[in-house]
């Protein structure tokens, strides 16, 4: 049993110069065999292991990660959490996650710094206005909080936005989801890792999967850089590298992996206390607790695993940011980076069994996976443990690309993907 | 960010081009005969290779012509560029 984090443990450890904190997770070597192995130690993978252990009583499980936990897209996203998706299936999926976020810090005894500061999506033309109003109604029918704001209300909610009607893409209105917000991305991975480790999950870092061993249509285990690991169930949560793992098993997925960039500015005093997203001009901005502006850019249109991305994408985003927020014109950008996102043709994820028994995939989250981390882990754990999807992820099976029953969130999901 | 040697215009910045996805996916000759699985394969399934990949590009802000490219997706290095209908110059 791990010591609980509290104000008392903080005071106690202060007396020993914070040098005697217990390790949050062990660093074990892999055992010969596990009941299930999760490939990918990001937020989604660690959450999957956590819920497998907690809700499905599977204790003999491992998470294998080729680098360090939370070092991929979990540590590279812009930490936005919202559930204002258009279609019923997506609304169910993302609001399930949002409800878990609301109690996550208490559940994990780990402060994920979930901050419900609201997410505002802007409309810049008449079609945006119609689409956003339609989405607001759809959200409310699904029990998701959403309001439509006119230009004055947008200005009142976020005073630094330039609402002049003379600019190239004037703000005509926007939607607001007050329950939405941000969280501390690293803390999510670390919190789930600590929780899973406490229940006996082996978190194995620096362990890259090199092959998947099959006997006919059944999996037998994985080849890794730390040797062969026998297992009957493999849950792959490898984000941008999902196709690479699928190819090892002889599967093809409907994914393309592309660079998505983000950047942060120098830290400044509090200036924007919410998250503002604009689909039409492609600019997202929020402010971290350190004071940095966190800015999300768009994806490049070519397949790449290089974690870089093109300069013109960043330039386009900053052009839009400056028109909407002239106050930022002299800010300097500190860091820029890219993550590799796996995008489905319908911009919705896959949480599914496959044609190979014992092989499960949780992928295709594209540009918006962080917000779903807890829900994704919970539903994927259910799918792996029962060999059947939960009703909330039934629509997100891989066969929808054969049946044609797509969940088309391209453009419908409040942002362009 | 990289430079692309358009087979018609010469070397230009990548931002002048639009990527068109995996190359050499053959359009079905008899669409009416295709099963749902075959349609899914043609429409949606992609190799999405980490490494050397064959792909189509269009010089949208130039000659607007389509051409093929061989590129290493792990480091964005271009191995070869060739016109539509031509055989790839590298394996």
Can you give the pLDDT of all 91 residues of chain B as single tens digits?
A: 789 999 999 999 999 999 999 999 999 999 999 999 999 999 999 999 999 999 999 999 999 999 999 999 999 999 999 999 998 887 6
A312 CB neighbours in chain B (<8 A) are 1, 15
Residue A411's pLDDT is 63
Our CA-based measurement puts residue B79 at a distance from the nearest CA of chain A, in whole angstroms, of 14
What's the rounded Cα separation, in Å, for the pair A89 and A343? 18
Residue A417's pLDDT is 47
SS3 A131: helix
The ranges of chain A with pLDDT < 70 are 1, 411-417
Neighbours of A170 (CB within 10 A): 17
Residue of A nearest to B1 (CA): A310
* pTM for the model: 0.96
Our CA-based measurement puts residue A369 at a distance from the nearest CA of chain B, in whole angstroms, of 19
Our CA-based measurement puts residue B45 at a distance from the nearest CA of chain A, in whole angstroms, of 4
- With a threshold of 0.90, tell me whether the complex ipTM lies above it: yes
Q: Which domains does chain B have, with CATH numbers?
A: 3-83 (3.30.2270.10)
- Contact across the interface for B36 and A305, Cβ inside 8 Å: no
A72 CB neighbours in chain B (<8 A) are none
Residue A3's pLDDT is 84
Our CA-based measurement puts residue B13 at a distance from the nearest CA of chain A, in whole angstroms, of 10
Judge whether A348 and A86 are in contact, CB under 8 Å: no
Residue ranges of chain A whose CB lies within 8 Å of a chain B CB: 241, 243-244, 247, 252-257, 300-306, 308-312, 342, 345, 401-404
Q: Which residue shows structure tokens 């204790």?
A: A59
Burial of A168 (0-12, 13-18, 19+ CB in 10 A): exposed
A57: Cβ contacts below 8 Å, ≥ 6 apart: none
In total, the C-beta contacts within 8 angstroms joining chain A to chain B are 74
**pLDDT tens digits for range A374-403:** 999 999 999 999 999 999 999 999 999 999
Residue A413's pLDDT is 58
> Who among B21, B45, B73 is closest to A304 (CB)?
B73
């Amino acid at each position: 049993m791990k010591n609980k984090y509290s104000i008392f443990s903080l005071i106690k450890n202060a007396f020993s110069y914070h040098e005697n904190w217990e390790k949050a997770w062990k660093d074990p070597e892999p055992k010969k065999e596990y009941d299930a192995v999760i490939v990918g130690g990001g937020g989604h993978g660690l959450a999957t292991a956590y819920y497998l252990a907690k809700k499905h009583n599977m204790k003999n499980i491992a998470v294998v990660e080729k680098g360090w936990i939370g070092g991929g897209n979990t540590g590279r996203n812009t930490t936005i959490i919202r559930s204002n998706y258009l279609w019923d299936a997506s609304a169910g999926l993302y609001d399930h996650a949002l409800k878990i976020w609301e109690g996550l810090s208490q559940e994990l005894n780990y402060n994920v710094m979930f901050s419900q500061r609201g997410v505002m999506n802007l409309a810049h033309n008449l079609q945006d206005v119609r689409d956003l109003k339609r989405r607001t109604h759809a959200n409310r029918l699904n029990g998701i909080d959403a309001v439509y704001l006119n230009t004055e209300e947008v200005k009142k909610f976020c005073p630094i936005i330039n609402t002049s009607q003379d600019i190239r893409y004037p703000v005509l209105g926007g939607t607001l989801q007050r329950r939405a917000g941000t969280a501390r991305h690293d803390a999510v991975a670390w919190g789930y890792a600590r929780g899973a480790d406490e229940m006996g999950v082996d978190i194995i870092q620096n362990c890259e999967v090199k092959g998947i061993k099959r006997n006919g249509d059944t999996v037998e285990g994985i080849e890794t850089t730390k040797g062969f690991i026998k297992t009957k169930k493999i849950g792959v949560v490898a984000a941008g590298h999902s196709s690479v793992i699928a190819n090892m098993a002889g599967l093809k997925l409907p994914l393309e992996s592309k660079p998505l960039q983000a950047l942060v500015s120098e830290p400044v005093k509090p200036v924007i206390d919410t998250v503002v997203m604009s689909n039409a001009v492609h600019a997202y901005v929020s402010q971290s607790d350190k004071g940095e502006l966190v800015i999300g850019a768009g994806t490049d249109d070519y397949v790449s695993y290089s974690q870089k991305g093109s300069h013109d994408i960043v330039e386009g985003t900053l052009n839009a940011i400056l028109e909407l927020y002239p106050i930022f014109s002299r800010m300097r950008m500190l860091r820029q980076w890219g993550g590799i996102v796996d995008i489905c043709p319908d911009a919705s994820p896959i949480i599914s069994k496959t044609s190979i028994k014992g092989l499960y995939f949780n992928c295709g989250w594209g540009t918006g996976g962080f917000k779903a981390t807890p829900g994704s882990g919970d539903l994927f754990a259910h799918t792996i443990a029962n060999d059947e999807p939960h009703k909330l992820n039934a629509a997100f099976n891989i066969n929808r690309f054969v049946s044609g029953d797509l969940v088309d969130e391209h453009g419908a999901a409040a942002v362009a993907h | 960010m990289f430079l692309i040697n358009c087979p018609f215009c010469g070397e230009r910045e990548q931002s002048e081009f639009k990527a068109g996805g995996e190359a050499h996916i053959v359009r079905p000759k008899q669409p009416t005969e295709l099963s749902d699985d075959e349609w899914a394969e043609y429409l949606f399934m992609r190799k999405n290779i980490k490494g050397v990949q064959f792909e189509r590009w269009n010089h949208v802000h130039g000659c607007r012509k389509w051409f093929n490219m061989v590129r290493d997706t792990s480091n964005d290095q271009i191995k070869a560029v060739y016109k539509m209908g031509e055989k790839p110059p590298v394996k």
